[in-house]
Amino acid sequence: MVTILEGRTLATQIKNKIKKEVIQLKENGVVPTICVIQVGEDPASTIYLRKKKEFAQSVGIKEISLRFSQEITQQELIDKIKELNADAAINAIMVQLPLPQQIDEQAIFETIAPQKDVDGFHPYNQGKLWQGDSQIMPATVRGILSLIDSYELDLVGKNTLIIGRSVIVGKPLASQLLARDATVTIAHSKTQDLSAITKKADIIVSDVGQANLITSKMLKQGVVLLDVGINRVNGRVVGDVAFEDCKVKASAITPVPGGIGPLTVASLMEQVVILTRIQKDDR
């Protein structure tokens, strides 16, 4: 029988853990604070940021929202981030993606101070991940690892396929799965004959954003499917994996929504606490 890897229960457990840690920090005179920057009025980003704000408030984290027009220049945004880097009251900085065309995302990643980089996108933090020496990683990656740990999924020696090579999920996740002794393959938009690779995989993580990319005919029996994709089809949110079709072959599968999604916001706020503790210990 297939195991449904749901993330909502685990997200609640993480939330309760964060609450306790925030209380402890406040008892020592420290208020964990995240500053979230939004450029423009992308509807999906606005909804996601509202969820982050609500979660932060529910666990006692101070959340500061800064909104800028779509026309902001790259230099203006960089100057604002530098101000926040220098503000000792700000523990974590996050710039919501996507950004308008005139702004180079990589330049923004590199401007955020590594010790305040709650998204884990800075090249320093990404490099430290590959060296196995960082507590900071992209929130979705932390969420995936939390789910793997919660369900005690065995990674050792398993053929693990990651579909997607972004610095947000694919590349940093590969580093963490390798550290857990998985045998990792990364597929991407230029991969030839994806189906030939998926059929050999014991575990598949898909982060493409293409509905029904993975179907049952592409899978071997007993595969574990971790679906990170978010797609809107006929007013419904679905993942990259054709859930009903694939769950017949899978030994374990995440639903969309309700799988990795709830863990991403929880993991982000978990990292606010981690950054706050690191900064507190360095003072």
Interval 36-61: pLDDT, tens = 999 998 887 888 888 899 999 999 99
Q: Which residues are catalytic?
A: 52, 96, 119
**Residue 20 covered by a domain:** no
Residues 104 and 178 in one domain: no
Residue 267 placed within a domain: no
Asked if 64 and 163 sit in the same domain, the reply is no
The most distant pair of C-alpha atoms in the chain lies apart, rounded to whole Å, by: 57
pLDDT on residue 45: 82
3-state percent breakdown (helix, strand, coil) of the chain, nearest 5 = 45, 15, 40
Residue 283 belongs to some domain of the structure = no
Q: 254 and 143, same structural domain?
A: yes
Q: Is residue 276 assigned to a domain?
A: no
Type of residue found at 79: D
For residue 60, give its domain range.
Answer: 29-113
Same domain, 105 and 160: no
Question: Does a structural domain hold residue 123?
Answer: no
- 97 and 158, same domain (yes or no): no
Question: Can you read off the two tokens belonging to residue 233?
Answer: 């089809």
**What CATH number is associated with residue 46?**
3.40.50.10860
Distance CA 267, CA 119 (A): 10
Looking at the structure, do residues 98 and 180 belong to the same domain, yes or no?
no
Residues 208 and 165 in one domain: yes
Give tens-digit pLDDT for 217-251. Answer: 999 999 999 999 999 999 899 999 999 999 999 99
CATH code: domain of residue 183 = 3.40.50.720
In this structure, is residue 271 part of a structural domain? no
Number of domains present in the structure of the chain: 2
In angstroms, the CA 172 to CA 223 distance is 22
pLDDT per residue, tens digit, the chain (283 aa), is: 899 999 999 999 999 999 999 999 999 999 999 999 999 988 878 888 888 999 999 999 999 999 999 999 999 999 999 999 999 999 999 999 999 999 999 999 999 999 999 999 999 999 999 999 888 999 999 999 999 999 999 999 999 999 999 999 999 999 999 999 999 999 999 999 999 999 999 999 999 999 999 999 999 999 999 999 999 999 899 999 999 999 999 999 999 999 999 999 999 999 999 999 999 886 5
